[in-house]
Amino acid sequence: MKDLVSVHSEEYGNPPNIIVKAPGVVTLLGEHTESTGGFALPFAMDRTITMAISTRKDSSLRFYALDLGERKRTSLINLKYKKEDRWANYLKGVIHAFLEAGFSGIKGLNVTLSGDIPSGIGLGASTAMATAMAVGLQHLFHFSVTERRLIDFIHYAESTFLEKQSGYVQVVASLLGKANQGIILDTKFLEWRYVPIPVGNMMFLITNSQVPKSVVDEELAQRWEDCGKCLELLQRKKPGATLRDFTPRDIRESMGLIPESIRRRCLHVVEENHRVKEAEEILRRNGNLLGLSKLLNRSHESLRDLFEVSCPEIDWLVKRSLETEGVLGSKLIGPGFGGCIITLLYEHALEEFKRHLDEYERIFGFKAVSFLCTPSEGAQIL
């Protein structure tokens, strides 16, 4: 924190007016359900983006990403998406959202940011940047903004300003996460409630496979299109329904009505929705994570076999982790085609698990990186 303050002061000549941090996000269950208005179970993780912000006397916007050593600049009257501005577009998008909504009084800004969320692997690094900026603007200029509207401003930055396919799961968790709790999120009505995640003597371990991804957006767009086609056919029997209104049995009985590849995609979404609901019941009733571990394993099997977004490297990591004594569950998280797995395990299993990572590097040539994570607080002013 002191380093960020001193860096900001040295960079701009004045100390920050405000320091804000926002966390990355882990989606335990509910991956790929949001495109059809399903359910998800995310939590805010204990890796964050921290942002120092100070006001300027002019309308300039200066952004400095300390970890990248990159500086970007624009002005309040020239808030446009620019490909070359990369990460700064998320910050510009949030500012643009406030201005479009009629919030006046925003001045030029000096911004310095730093963080430890790995980027590009589905852990919400970009969402955390946008969330930190939104919360910073709200408090810096004393704007009266509801939680729901703040969520929309953050979502706007990615979905409208950057014109990217994005949802609300990571936004809600990054903004509103709570320590030792997950969020049951209804993405159709954007309603949420908290559920305990009592880690106890267990822990969550995230492992980055380091597999390079190249076709994620195109492949996911095709799968979401498949789900839409599936729903159109199912609605012949139940007009006006969405995938959340169907049971796995409904999908299985649709053989012959729906092409098999499309039917598999829908079956994942329908079953995943039910897994989120089952997870909520388990966590509220049992007060431990043992029951959750089976759902994690079933979710990975579904992502691998039905939605088909896994890859050999990810499957190897999941399989080897489950062969380790003391590991309870393991699955792919993030969009897929590489990225991360999350593993639920006891502490004594850590050493053996990490030995598997050496074997993984020898076989696949990628040096996987692991770190522990804990359900933590959402965005905060420091």
Give pLDDT tens digits for 310-347: 999 999 999 999 999 999 999 999 999 999 999 999 99
Query: Which contacts (CB < 8 Å, 24+ apart) does range 304-307 have?
Result: 304/332, 305/264, 306/264, 306/265, 306/267, 306/268, 306/271, 307/32, 307/223, 307/264, 307/265, 307/268, 307/269, 307/336
| Residue 370 CB contacts under 8 Å (≥ 6 apart), including other chains | 205, 206, 207, 208, 353, 354, 357
At residue 164, the pLDDT reads 85
Q: Enter the tokens of residue 54.
A: 């100070």
Q: Enter the tokens of residue 256.
A: 């012959």
Flag whether pLDDT at 249 surpasses 70.
yes
Of 62-76, 247-261, 292-306, minimum mean pLDDT range: 247-261
As a whole-number percent, the residues of the chain with pLDDT over 90 amount to 78
Flag whether pLDDT at 258 surpasses 90.
no
What does the buried/exposed string (b/e) look like for 17-56 if buried means 16 or more CB atoms within 10 Å of the residue's CB?
ebbbbbbbbbbbbbbbbbbbbbbbbbbbbbbbbbbbbbee
At residue 218, the pLDDT reads 83
At residue 297, the pLDDT reads 97
The burial of 228, by beta-carbon neighbours within 10 Å (0-12 exposed, 13-18 middle, 19 or more buried), is given as: middle
At residue 216, the pLDDT reads 77
Give pLDDT tens digits for 88-143: 999 999 999 999 999 988 999 999 999 999 998 999 999 999 999 999 999 999 99
At residue 165, the pLDDT reads 80
Of 49-53, 218-222, 265-269, minimum mean pLDDT range: 218-222
Distance, in Å, from the CA atom of 130 to the CA atom of 303, rounded to the nearest integer, reads 28
Flag whether pLDDT at 239 surpasses 80.
yes
| Residue 230 CB contacts under 8 Å (≥ 6 apart), including other chains | 243, 258, 262, 263, 265, 266
Q: Which of the four pLDDT bands, split at 50, 70 and 90, describes residue 234?
A: confident
Among 141, 176, 169, 139, smallest CA distance to 155 is for 169
Distance, in Å, from the CA atom of 359 to the CA atom of 345, rounded to the nearest integer, reads 19
How many C-alpha atoms does 185 have within 13 Å on its Cβ side? 28
| Residue 20 CB contacts under 8 Å (≥ 6 apart), including other chains | 50, 51, 53, 132, 135, 136, 139, 379, 380, 381, 382
Give mean pLDDT, residues 270-285.
95
Flag whether pLDDT at 288 surpasses 80.
no
At residue 200, the pLDDT reads 84
Flag whether pLDDT at 41 surpasses 80.
yes
At residue 256, the pLDDT reads 77
Question: Across all residues in the chain, what is the average pLDDT?
Answer: 93
Distance, in Å, from the CA atom of 339 to the CA atom of 31, rounded to the nearest integer, reads 13
At residue 25, the pLDDT reads 98
Contact between residue 173 and residue 373 where contact means Cβ atoms under 8 Å apart: no
Whole-model pTM: value is 0.94
Q: What is the end-to-end Cα distance of the chain in Å, rounded?
A: 9
Flag whether pLDDT at 1 surpasses 80.
no
Flag whether pLDDT at 168 surpasses 70.
yes
At residue 2, the pLDDT reads 63
Give mean pLDDT, residues 294-320.
96
Give pLDDT tens digits for 343-380: 999 999 999 999 999 999 999 999 999 999 999 999 99
